[in-house]
Amino acid sequence: MKLDAAQRRAILADPAGWIASGFGSGLSPYAPGTAGSLAALIPWFALRELPLPAYALAIVAAFALGVWASNRVVARLHIEDPGVIVWDEFVGQWIALAPLLVWPSNWPWVVVAFALFRLFDVTKPWPVSWADRAVKGGVGVMLDDALAGVYAALVLSAALYAIA
């Protein structure tokens, strides 16, 4: 569903909408999920400086914030998982990038993590597909992307381990 100008303004006027839309990146007219995943890299460059336990806590907090924000936007738009919500991409991308805090790596691995996350987010292998269909509300919006991020992180970790 394409949002009209009034809906777009309403989303950006509400703090929950601002967060859920990934600071507006979800309003991209082309591939909002990919735009949100790219936008997630900007704060990640600061998050990656955190110690691993703080990084994990930040992801849990971002997930909870996403559940709250997604619930508000879903209630406002009356659409179960509107494309404008990309905070789930932020969290999923940050999960996918987590191995780069542990393994020695350089920027091409950021590209690999990004591509793996998008692959699992789009193809939705089980249980990502189950979460996408069966879990509703803000938790459902967030959970499938978090699971796609876990898949991406596991594959990335295996690749980093294999070449180490």
- Tell me which residue has tokens 């209630």: 75
Q: Quote the pTM value.
A: 0.95
* Cβ neighbours, 10 Å, residue 15: 10
Q: What is the pLDDT of residue 124?
A: 97
Q: What is the pLDDT of residue 10?
A: 86
Please give the Cα distance from 71 to 69 (Å, whole number): 5
Residue 50 DSSP SS3: coil
* Cβ neighbours, 10 Å, residue 7: 17
Q: What is the pLDDT of residue 1?
A: 63
Q: What is the pLDDT of residue 77?
A: 86
The segments of the chain whose pLDDT lies below 70 read 1
Q: Quick one: tokens of 126?
A: 């089980």
Q: What is the pLDDT of residue 105?
A: 81
> Sign of the C-alpha dihedral, residues 131, 136, 140, 141?
positive
The residue type of 1 is M
